[in-house]
């Protein structure tokens, strides 16, 4: 029998609206329309009351889309719907696009207990921002950070996207320096992948050359720790104690609720994907597809997520869940990877070390069945 964790206490809610659509984006979203957002809020209310959600959530993450694309009254309605689950919340995050935040919204967020903001900075370069169809400047990001801090929300994360078409190492350095100058608590840096059905794909654009991208990542990994941001995950860096609790729940393979269209969740041995269709969501707010995961799938997913963390995967949790240690479940892979100095373990964790962390996908492949 597979023993899963405690009662779910992490909640992700997806807001499917954006003011404008970024050229690289394939997240579920649609252009913001006030009446569509009203209908969505009504369906969300039904979904939340139909689901037996733990009122004692420890983390809540409102992502998107662009949650702050909602008008203040709608944002207030959304946060009011979530109020019943915030009594024990330790980390309550909302994603923000800089140009959609104003004084009234910042005040609302604080009033409802939001204590962390993840801001889409992406780049400080106006030409690259235009290429991405981002409608803000680096000054807008700076202003959003100030506004949030002035209203008591002082746990700030900035997102950066690099290896953009035509981007140079110098441009990445400048963007990272500008981000550091805003003194965020946390930084997420993602390299661009071009997904089908995006504007970048339609324009046949490519990320920058792979060697250059590797140089960018190397520079990022060397520079951020020297500025007080320790790497704790492949793409994430934080000041002491400011790691994202919510995202760590994903990487530690804990269960989480996925609320609203376009969200996914995990419930024991099941993963579910909510409908991505607004039409279907409005007629059935609980519409989803359910995937039952085998023990092999679960073990591999737990390894795959946990080894993204610099500290590695929690060996005891693995054993508690599957009644077998990683060494026992994957004797050949563990022996080979240890011999090649790509992984290491102690009684608590199993982690990819040195070059192994850089080639994590190759390391993980060793754990797949022949």
Residues that bind ligand SF4 (CB under 6 A): 18, 21-22, 25, 27, 29, 64-66, 97
CA–CA distances in Å: residue 180 to residues 96, 101, 175, 230, 322: 18, 21, 9, 13, 42
Contact 2, 321 (CB under 8 A): yes
CA–CA distances in Å: residue 94 to residues 296, 323, 331: 34, 37, 42
Q: Which is nearer to ligand SF4, 25 or 245 (CB)?
A: 25
- d(Cα 15, Cα 78) in Å, to the nearest integer? 9
In the block, which residue shows the tokens 């040195």? 354
Q: How far is the CB of 188 from ligand SF4 (least distance, A)?
A: 13
Q: Which is nearer to ligand SF4, 129 or 298 (CB)?
A: 129
Q: Which is nearer to ligand SF4, 65 or 124 (CB)?
A: 65
Q: Which is nearer to ligand SF4, 58 or 97 (CB)?
A: 97
Q: Which is nearer to ligand SF4, 77 or 133 (CB)?
A: 133
Q: How far is the CB of 18 from ligand SF4 (least distance, A)?
A: 3
- d(Cα 191, Cα 204) in Å, to the nearest integer? 17
- d(Cα 240, Cα 263) in Å, to the nearest integer? 30
Q: Which is nearer to ligand SF4, 22 or 234 (CB)?
A: 22
Q: How far is the CB of 143 from ligand SF4 (least distance, A)?
A: 18
Pairing of strands 230-233, 236-238: antiparallel
Q: Which is nearer to ligand SF4, 66 or 243 (CB)?
A: 66
Q: How far is the CB of 292 from ligand SF4 (least distance, A)?
A: 29
Compute how many other C-beta atoms are within 10 angstroms of the C-beta atom of residue 279: 9
- How many helices and strands (H and E) does the chain possess? 16, 17
Q: Please choose, from the candidates 178, 153, 173, the residue with its C-alpha nearest in 3D space to the C-alpha of residue 68.
A: 153
Q: How far is the CB of 29 from ligand SF4 (least distance, A)?
A: 5
Q: How far is the CB of 64 from ligand SF4 (least distance, A)?
A: 5
- Read off the tokens for 135: 């409608």
Q: How far is the CB of 33 from ligand SF4 (least distance, A)?
A: 14
- d(Cα 100, Cα 284) in Å, to the nearest integer? 30
Q: Which is nearer to ligand SF4, 108 or 192 (CB)?
A: 192
- d(Cα 171, Cα 362) in Å, to the nearest integer? 30
Q: How far is the CB of 227 from ligand SF4 (least distance, A)?
A: 26
Q: How far is the CB of 197 from ligand SF4 (least distance, A)?
A: 12
Compute how many other C-beta atoms are within 10 angstroms of the C-beta atom of residue 1: 6
Q: Which is nearer to ligand SF4, 96 or 182 (CB)?
A: 96
Q: At what angle do helices 210-226 and 169-181 cross, to 10 degrees?
A: 30
- d(Cα 65, Cα 153) in Å, to the nearest integer? 21
In total, the chain counts a number of residues equal to 370
In 3-state terms, what secondary structure has residue 324? coil
Q: How far is the CB of 255 from ligand SF4 (least distance, A)?
A: 25
Q: Please choose, from the candidates 324, 321, 322, 326, the residue with its C-alpha nearest in 3D space to the C-alpha of residue 352.
A: 326
Q: Which is nearer to ligand SF4, 19 or 173 (CB)?
A: 19
Which position's Cβ is nearest ligand SF4? Answer: 25
């Amino acid at each position: 029998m597979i023993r899963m964790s405690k009662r779910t206490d992490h909640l992700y809610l997806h807001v499917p609206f954006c003011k404008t659509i970024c050229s690289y984006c394939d997240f579920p979203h649609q252009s913001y329309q006030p009446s569509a957002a009203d209908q969505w809020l009504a369906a969300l209310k039904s979904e939340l009351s139909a689901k037996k959600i733990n009122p004692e959530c420890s983390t809540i993450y409102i992502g998107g889309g662009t949650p702050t694309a909602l008008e203040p009254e709608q944002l207030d309605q959304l946060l009011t719907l979530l109020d019943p689950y915030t009594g024990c919340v330790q980390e309550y995050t909302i994603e923000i696009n800089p140009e959609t935040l104003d004084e009234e919204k910042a005040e609302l967020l604080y009033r409802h207990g939001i204590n962390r903001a993840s801001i889409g900075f992406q780049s400080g370069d106006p030409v690259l921002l235009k290429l991405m169809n981002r409608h803000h400047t680096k000054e807008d990001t700076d202003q959003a950070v100030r506004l949030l801090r002035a209203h008591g929300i002082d746990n700030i994360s900035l997102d950066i996207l690099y290896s953009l078409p035509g981007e140079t190492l110098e441009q990445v350095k400048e963007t990272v320096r500008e981000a550091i100058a805003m003194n965020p608590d946390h930084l997420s840096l993602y390299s661009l992948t071009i997904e089908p059905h995006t504007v970048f794909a339609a324009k046949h654009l490519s990320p920058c050359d792979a060697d250059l991208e590797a140089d960018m990542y190397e520079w990022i990994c060397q520079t951020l720790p020297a500025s007080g941001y320790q790497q704790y995950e492949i793409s994430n860096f934080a000041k002491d104690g400011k790691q994202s609790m919510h995202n760590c729940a994903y990487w530690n393979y804990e269960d989480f609720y996925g609320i609203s269209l376009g969200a996914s969740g995990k419930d024991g041995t099941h993963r579910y994907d909510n409908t991505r269709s607004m039409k279907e969501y409005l007629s059935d707010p609980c519409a989803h597809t359910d995937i039952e995961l085998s023990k092999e799938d679960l073990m591999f997913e737990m390894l795959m997520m946990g080894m993204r963390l610099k500290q590695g995967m929690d060996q005891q949790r693995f054993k508690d869940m599957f009644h077998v240690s990683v060494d026992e479940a994957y004797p050949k892979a563990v022996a080979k990877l240890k011999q090649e100095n790509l992984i290491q373990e102690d009684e608590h964790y199993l982690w990819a070390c040195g070059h192994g962390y850089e080639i994590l996908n190759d390391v993980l492949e060793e754990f797949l069945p022949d």
